[in-house]
Amino acid sequence: MESREHQLIESLAYYFYLADGCPEGKALQHWLEAEQLLETEQQCEVESFESNFLDDKAVEEPELSGLFVES
């Protein structure tokens, strides 16, 4: 069974093949371009996540007073 990533690379490579005019002998080039595009996209997602959620701001502790009632 092919992984989802493999299927995506295969589809992108085929798209590049079609966009390039269906030339013979460039399958490896199209495959590598597809891998690079996917890798770049994944890296952009990681960087976006890091900049949005893992910035250098200190995390404030929630105020807990008044939430618990002693019996």
51 within a domain of the structure (yes/no): no
Question: Structurally, how many domains does the chain consist of?
Answer: 1
The pTM is what?
A: 0.65
5 within a domain of the structure (yes/no): yes
pLDDT band at 57 (very low <50, low <70, confident <90, very high): low
Q: Are 16 and 33 in contact (CB under 8 A)?
A: yes
Please give the residue range of the domain that contains residue 21. 1-26
15 within a domain of the structure (yes/no): yes
Residue 31: predicted pLDDT: 97
The whole-chain average pLDDT of the chain stands at: 83
pLDDT digits (tens, 9 = 90+) for 5-18: 999 999 999 999 99
39 within a domain of the structure (yes/no): no
55 within a domain of the structure (yes/no): no
8 within a domain of the structure (yes/no): yes
